[in-house]
Structure 1
Amino acid sequence: MGLAIILFVLMRIIGGEKGTKSFIALFLNFVIVFMMMLLTVYEKDPIFLTFIACILVSCVNLFYINEVNLKTKTAFVATLMTVFILFILVYGLMEFAKIQGFGEEEVEELSTFSFYIGIDFIKVGISTILLGMIGAVTDTAISIASAMNEIYFHNPLLTKKNLFKSGMTVGKDILGTTTNTLFFAFVGGYLALILWFKDIYYSFETIINSKVFMAEVLSVLCIGIGAILIIPITAWLTSMILTKVEKT
């Protein structure tokens, strides 16, 4: 509670009203994800619930924090397009790689529990990746859309092609920090797992074929692909909408 209060005070002081909205958005996103997990337990379709959760989280992150305007609408559409494309990729990957479920390292700890829970673990794996991606995607989308709106506001004579190039330039600057964030999040979250593999003398070949390790690696790579795809999609969509609005 103390840390939560410190976080709220800092967000309020530095971010003002938008900082307060961002703090409330954290709580709203937690409620959305918690409700999704709760409904999944009651044997509802995880993928359908994930799409609903992604839409709601996007609405909170974009419309609640930044209000409803042209740039947030553009970022919202670009986010949904990216989620759909990544879903197709992840679905094929899950069917091919068979990384869903538990690894053999985890079976001993879970041996007292029943594995017949009535939930498709392929769908759960897809849901995990999509939810892990949605935050990075919405953040990148609104950053690019906002920057392009500002560029076009100060230079309305830009052509669609030049505006798209400007958006891609902004996206390239964001891309480096986003990929590094994903990498260090993986290393920080699974450093104990890597050290555990070392203690039980796993060879390199055994590690890269371990389900528990490769599931996380592929998850990070898929999330990274989503964070990259959102850049050209948002740049293209924003350049098309801004130039069309100006003409009309």
Structure 2
Amino acid sequence: MNAILLLAAILFILMTLVGGKKGARSFFAIFLNFGVIIFVLFFMNDPNINPIIVTLIACAFIGCINLFFINEVNIKTITAFLSSLITTGVLIGFIVIIAEKAMIQGFGEEEIEELSIFSLYIGVDFVKVAASVIIMSTISAITDAAMAISSPMREIHYHHPDISRKELFQAGISIGKDILGTSTNTLFFAFFGAYLALLIWFKDLSYSAGEIINSKIFSGEMITIFCAGIGVTMVIPVTSWITALYLVKRGNTADTAE
């Protein structure tokens, strides 16, 4: 516990020194997002409530926290929020179908031994829970990419107010190309970092490549990574188009706030 408090204090000090008030808000946003996740867990236990609906509401709150609470309400955050909502809305149906067809719901056989003493008849639709997990894992990457595009586009328009909508859109796409590779690779290595012990276990048990790929845990995480990557890729043109449309429409009256 002391180590956790020490690391939290170091993180808060560094974020405040580097980011000022915005850095401090970013630190407290971590706990607000944690509270939203706890909220989701409580309501997912109710069999009468659709987990996907709860997750979508939670994603809207997470988007508001990560964008409006940290960066305040301005052109950058509004366009990033709208782009995130549109992209997530398009992905929902695809994610639900993939979660159902891939049969990644529930627990893998690597986990079931520890849970064998408990009753698994808890009245929860694990297909929807699996889809909710993917959606929740995807929204943060989408929001991050949307903000990473809308912010420099606003700066470009501020310093070049006569830029055309097409040129600004192309600038957004160019920015998106730069962050696309790093964003998707971050998702990929986050999985391998979190599940490195599992991969070592697969090796010690002499799992074949086919057994690893078809493992429920491995395939579930890879599907999550691919869905998040698809979301990040889709949000680039969506954010570029919405931001270019809004900024050029407003002309020189565009927001000058940070």
TM-score, length basis structure 1: 0.96
For residues 12-52 of structure 1, give each alpha carbon's deviation from its aligned partner in whole angstroms, at most 9, with x where no partner exists: 11110000110111111110111111111233321111011
Say whether residues 1:225 and 2:239 are aligned partners.
no
| Counterpart selection for 2:155 from 147, 150, 153 | 150
| CA deviation profile, 1:88-130 (whole Å, cap 9, x unmatched) | 2111111211111112222222110111111111111111111
Tell me if 1:246 matches 2:251: yes
Moved more, 5-14 or 206-215: 206-215
Residue deviations 1:206-241 (CA, integer Å, cap 9, x gap): 111221211111111111111111111100111111
Aligned residue in 2 for 1:4: 8
How far apart, in 1, do the equivalents of 2:111 and 2:65 lie?
A: 36
Say which of 37, 60, 63 aligns to 1:58. Answer: 63
Residue-by-residue CA offset, 1:130-176 (whole Å, 9 max, x unaligned): 11112111111112111111101111221111111000111111112
Worse-superposed segment, 14-23 or 102-111 = 102-111
Deviation per residue, 1:55-93 (Å, 9 max, x gap): 001001111111111221111100001111121211111
Instruction: Choose which of 58, 73, 77 in structure 2 pairs with 1:72.
Output: 77
Name the residue aligned to 1:124.
129
In 1, Cα distance between the equivalents of 2:73 and 2:104? 39
Q: Could you tell me which residue of structure 2 aligns to residue 237 of structure 1?
A: 242
Runs of 4 or more consecutive aligned structure 1 residues displaced over 3 Å after TM superposition: none
Q: 1:176 aligns with which of 171, 175, 181?
A: 181
- Unmatched runs of 5 consecutive residues or more in structure 1: none
Return the alpha-carbon distance in structure 2 between the equivalents of residues 21 and 106 of structure 1. Answer: 37
Is 1:14 aligned with 2:14? no
Structure 1 counterpart SS, 2:114? coil
Shift of 1:177: 1.5
Task: State how many pairs are aligned.
Answer: 248
Q: Give unmatched runs, 5+ long, in structure 2.
A: 254-258
**Corresponding residue to 2:100 among 84, 95, 100:** 95
Q: Does 1:82 align with 2:94?
A: no
Amino acid at match of 2:23: G
Distance 1:93 1:59 in 2: 27
1:214 matched to 2:219: yes
Once the two structures are overlaid, the 10-residue window that deviates more, 202-211 or 19-28, is 202-211
Q: Distance in 2 between matches of 1:99 and 1:42?
A: 21
Letter in 2 for 1:46: P
Separation of aligned partners in 2, 1:207 and 1:33: 30
Which of 191, 198, 219 does residue 193 from structure 1 map onto?
A: 198
Measure how far apart 1:247 and its partner are. 8.7
* 3-state secondary structure, aligned to 1:109: helix
Kindly report the root-mean-square deviation, in angstroms, between the aligned alpha carbons of the 2 structures.
1.3
The CA distance in 2 between the partners of 1:206 and 1:13, in whole Å, is 48
Kindly indicate whether the alpha-carbon contact (under 8 Å) linking 2:138 and 2:224 is maintained by their aligned counterparts in 1: no
The percentage of counterpart residues that share the same residue type is 51
Secondary structure at the residue paired with 2:73? coil
Residue 112 of structure 2, aligned match among 107, 117, 126: 107
State how far apart, in whole Å, the 1-side matches of 2:135 and 2:197 are: 24
- The 1-side partners of 2:81 and 2:108 are apart by 36
What is the rounded CA distance, in whole Å, between the counterparts of 1:79 and 1:160 in structure 2? 21
SS of the aligned residue for 2:115 comes to: coil
